[in-house]
Chains A and B, each alone.
Chain A
Amino acid sequence: MTKEKALKLNKEGSFSYWQKVFTRLKRHRLAMISLYILIAIIVIVVFVPMFVHIDPNKVDLAQALQPPSPHHIMGTDDNGRDEFIRLLYGGRISLLVGFAVTFFSGLLGIFVGLWAGYKRGFLDNLLMRINEIMMTIPELPLLIVAAKMRFIPNSVVKLIVIMSAFGWVGIARLIRGETLSVREEEYIEASKAIGVPDRTIVWKHLLPNTMAVSIVWATLRIGRVIIAEATLSFFGLGVQPPTPSWGNMLLGAQTYIWTSQWLVWWPGLSILLVTLLFNFLGDGLRDAMDPKLFL
């Protein structure tokens, strides 16, 4: 969007909420730089493998554990596979898992949170109890147990399903809290008084009011999902080899700390960088949307 367009007044002669958010975000230098780098990273991992036809799973034992050189700019792993190519393909998987899990758990959480907060009653009580129980059970063993079940053959799909199934509770609680305060507003009461159906109230009034929380939550969440994927993969329960992900490229990295440290650096640095950028962007978005948010 160009500058003139962003600053154009809307029909009522004032800036709309999203225009204000966008102008405020543009002034947040760190967040904007992070956004551009993230877009660049996504473009690179999505498009570069389309044009560079090197198989990331091609085993070449004669080339195993080569340090970085002009031929293999990030070196090769224990099967002689090019680390840089695997990093690109792994980035696709890690980012896909990050986005997909955030999207599905967000969708579910927003839906449950809105409904629980608006309707109160039994569903609300149930949600709060589930929330407390999920908070008390440590997450990692649960994820490991779920990852060990063999109900979906594709490990990437399985990982997305499992992590979405466990990840919706936090955002549901946040949305519920937000809904609780919005539903007491007078315009909601007015809508009810003129007979607007519940579905329309939720859709037109409550959902837009919870958008800021959802977007900031999602941005901060993606990084955490990528770290969680890496942690599960470190235990050998994430994305299954030979499909590379930033997490499973670190599987067995502990054995190489003595000889081939580049195998530890690159995937970890990628995770660190992407998570850091998403956090910067999320903080910028929070400041632009609602600085009072505690996320």
Chain B
Amino acid sequence: MKNYILRRLLIIIPEFIGITLIAFFLFSLLGDPFAELQTNPFISPSDIAALKHMYGFDKPVMLRYFYWFFAMIRGNFGISAVTGESVIKMIGRALPITLSINIFTFTISLFVGIWIGFKSAVKQYSFFDHLFTGISYFGIAMPHFWFGLMLMILFSVKLHLLPPGGIMTPGMESAPLIARIMDRAKYLVMPIIVISLGSIAVWARYTRSSVLEMLRKDYVRTARAKGLSERQVLKKHVFRNALNPIVTLFFLSLPGLLGGSAVTEQVFSIPGMGRLIIQAVMNNDYMVAMGGIIMYAVILLISLVIADVMYALIDPRIKYS
């Protein structure tokens, strides 16, 4: 077991290097960030050369990669080309916003999704099952941004109940805490509905098929045959075993907490992580984009390891060879 964990941890290193390579070279393929300056008649070629030298862009791409890589592992992610702010600071501002939305949606959709999945598996082909299977089909087949727009039409345009985007009413900065929370809640209702619907659908479908598989197992029949109450059978035998694959999915989706739903944040103009990365990519702000992607990928790598190890711990049948 110790060996297994150690080896699993060591695999992170080449994978991390692979991710940094892909992220860096993909962005360097996008081309010269000074290309726009060259067409500007008020900037002389020598100024551009000086700028390039200042930012290290006169060096070959391989060398730039190493500069960036070693600065990054020391915790220096560079500065934004657009605002000149440090990348860490920008991430530090966006992260709490995304976290506050995502912890909420994640918890809701986890519990609601597992509950729905479990209920509809136990009562397979009942009205409840059909209803929620139908809803989860919609949750999966709907483009998130479009669902967001439809909610906006309903709640903002038709009913005038909720603001269509942003996270704060202007002038609320110095309001009392309760009022600020109420104000923030108004802005987050629609994004939370959009993000939850999709992930509830995923959790429910996953739980449903996992529980259905367990219900067919021999030991469930044995448990029933020896006279356990249905409640006991479902709780101790079916649910407990159906949880195994769900735990893996749980850890796999943890990084989503920090990643933020880029599309939803974009539609509702929420300045979170997803929007930060997407905007940076759109504006050729490489340092911010790479920093954001690397942060996300590292957290995902660690979660993958935890998922694998947890899986081995929960399910004794897994061999760690």
Question: What is the CA–CA distance of A235 and B266 in the complex, to the nearest angstrom?
Answer: 9
**B42-50, B52-60, B276-284: which lies at the interface:** B276-284
Interface size of B by CB at 8 A reads: 45
Please state if B138 and A272 are interface contacts (CB–CB under 8 Å). yes
Check if B30 is an interface residue, CB within 8 A of chain A. Answer: yes
* B281–A257 CB distance below 8 A: no
Point out the residues of chain A lying under 8 angstroms from B61, CB to CB: none
Residue on B with the closest CB to A150? Answer: B31
Is there a chain B Cβ closer than 8 Å to A214's Cβ?
no
Apart from A137-B22, A230-B145, list 10 A-B contacts with CB within 8 A. Answer: A132-B15, A136-B304, A141-B262, A141-B289, A145-B26, A148-B30, A234-B145, A257-B164, A271-B146, A279-B137
With A145-B30, A145-B281 known as contacts, the answer to whether A136 contacts B19 (CB < 8 A) is yes
Known contacts A133-B19, A141-B289, A276-B138; is-contact A253 B149 (Cβ 8 Å): yes
For the complex, is A254 an interface residue (Cβ under 8 Å from B)? yes
Which of B23, B142, B143, B145 has its CB near the most chain A CB atoms (within 10 A)? B143
Q: List the interface of chain B (C-beta within 8 A of A).
A: 14-15, 18-19, 22-23, 26-27, 29-31, 137-138, 140-146, 149-150, 152-153, 156-157, 164, 209, 259, 262-263, 266-267, 277-278, 281-282, 289, 292-293, 296-297, 300-301, 304
Chain B residues lying within 8 Å of A146, measured Cβ to Cβ, are 26
**If the complex has contacts A231-B143, A231-B145, are A133 and B293 also in contact, measured as CB distance less than 8 A?**
no
**Bound complex: CA of A30 vs CA of B289, how far in Å?**
44
* Shortest Cβ distance from B18 into A: residue: A133
| B27, B140, B296 interface centre (most CB from chain A within 10 Å) | B140
Q: B interface, by DSSP: helix, strand, loop or mixed?
A: helix
> Which of the listed residues B141, B145, B277 has the most CB atoms from chain A within 10 Å of its own CB?
B141
Is B259 a contact partner of A276 (Cβ separation < 8 A)?
A: no
- Quick check: is A188 within 8 A (CB to CB) of the other chain? no
Q: How far is the CA of A271 from the CA of B146 in the complex (A)?
A: 10
- On whether A135 and B263 interact (CB within 8 A), knowing A129-B18, A141-B293, A144-B281, the answer reads no
A-B contact count (CB 8 A): 115
Question: Which residues of chain A are within 8 angstroms of B138 by Cβ–Cβ distance?
Answer: 272, 276
Which of B142, B149, B282 is close to A264, meaning CB atoms less than 8 Å apart?
A: B149
Q: Which residue, B19, B277, B281, has most C-beta atoms of chain A within 10 A?
A: B281
Residues of B within 8 A of A261 (CB): 153, 157
Listed by A's residue number, 25 A-B pairs whose Cβ atoms lie within 8 Å are: A133-B15, A133-B19, A136-B300, A136-B304, A137-B19, A137-B22, A137-B23, A137-B297, A138-B277, A138-B296, A145-B26, A145-B27, A145-B29, A148-B282, A149-B30, A223-B141, A230-B146, A235-B266, A250-B146, A257-B164, A261-B153, A268-B150, A275-B140, A275-B141, A275-B142
Q: How large is the interface on A (under 10, 10 to 19, 20 to 34, 35 or more residues)?
A: 35 or more
Known contacts A230-B143, A261-B153; A133/B22 CB under 8 A:
yes
Contact B30–A135 (Cβ < 8 Å): no
A294 interface hit (Cβ, 8 Å): yes
Please name all residues of chain B whose beta carbon is closer than 8 Å to the beta carbon of A280 when the two chains form the complex.
Answer: 137
Using CB atoms, name the residue of chain B closest to A283: B137
Query: Is there contact, CB below 8 Å, between A264 and B26?
Result: no
Q: Which of A141, A234, A253, A272 contacts B142 (CB 8 A)?
A: A272
Q: Does A211 contact B (CB under 8 A)?
A: no
Is the Cβ of A254 less than 8 Å from the Cβ of B267?
yes
CA distance A132 to B14 in the complex (A): 11
The verdict on A142 contacting chain B, using a C-beta distance below 8 Å, is: yes
Distance between B179 CB and nearest chain A CB, rounded to angstroms: 27
Pair B164/A129 contact, Cβ less than 8 Å = no
- Give the chain B neighbours of A230 by CB distance below 8 A: 143, 145-146
Interface 1/0 per residue, A213-229 and B, CB below 8 Å: 00000000001000100
The 6 closest A-B pairs by CB, nearest first: A268-B146, A275-B141, A276-B141, A136-B297, A136-B300, A133-B18
A295 to chain B, nearest CB (A): 10
Residues in A with CB closer than 8 Å to B137 are 276, 279-280
CA distance A268 to B296 in the complex (A): 30
Q: Which residues of B contact A231 (CB under 8 A)?
A: 143-145, 263
CB atoms of B146 and A272 under 8 A apart: yes
**CB–CB B149/A141 < 8 A:** no
Query: Is A258 part of the binding interface, using a Cβ–Cβ cutoff of 8 Å?
Result: yes
Q: A21 → chain B, closest Cβ, in Å?
A: 20
